[in-house]
Structure formats: structure tokens, C-alpha cells
């Protein structure tokens, strides 16, 4: 198993490519997403007012894991994806 963490900014439906993972098109991957905020000078996950969904996960042949995320907010938010490739 290979765990990974990927941070990005966005809103609406966003396709996120997580590179440099040991994936092929037949790999198994799971992921979750959460909002990030600054607390005590550190970036930390929290549950805010926005709903965030992982909609699809598609392992690619080139070591990239493509993850579609739906961030239900009108402005860009800081988001963290946590996951594992099996």
C-alpha cells in the first residue's frame, strides 16, 4: 500500500491529477477530501460549511491518479486529498 496526500485550490467540479504514484489502469485506489484552514499558523483539515465529495477515481498508465472532486462552494477553497493505492 502507498499512502498519499495532495493539496490544491478550487471550487465546483475539479479534476485533480496526483503524479508519481505506483499506479496502472488496473490499480485499486481510495481517497477522501477535506477543506484545509490555517490554525495556529499551521495548515490543518477541518469540516467547514462547504460540502466536498470525491466523485470518481481513475488510475492512469503513466503513474498518475486522476481524481474528480466536487467542491460545493462559490469561491476557491484549500482542499486536501488523502488516499492510498493498493
CA distance 4 to 81: 8
Cα 74–chain centre separation:
18
pLDDT digits (tens, 9 = 90+) for 9-52: 999 999 999 999 999 999 999 999 999 999 999 999 999 999 99
Q: What per-residue confidence (pLDDT) applies to 54?
A: 98
pLDDT band of 61, cuts 50, 70, 90: confident
CA distance 64 to 44: 25
pTM of the model as a whole: 0.93
In this model, does residue 64 exceed pLDDT 90? yes
So where are the chain's domains? 2-85
CA distance 8 to 77: 8
Amino acid at each position: 500500500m502507498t499512502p498519499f496526500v495532495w493539496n490544491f485550490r478550487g471550487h465546483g467540479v475539479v479534476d485533480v491529477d496526483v503524479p508519481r504514484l505506483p499506479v496502472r489502469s488496473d490499480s485499486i485506489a481510495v481517497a477522501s477530501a477535506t477543506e484545509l484552514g490555517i490554525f495556529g499558523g499551521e495548515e490543518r483539515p477541518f469540516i467547514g460549511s462547504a460540502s466536498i465529495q470525491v466523485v470518481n477515481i481513475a488510475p492512469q498508465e503513466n503513474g498518475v491518479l486522476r481524481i474528480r472532486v466536487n467542491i460545493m462552494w462559490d469561491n476557491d477553497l484549500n482542499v486536501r486529498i488523502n488516499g492510498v493505492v493498493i
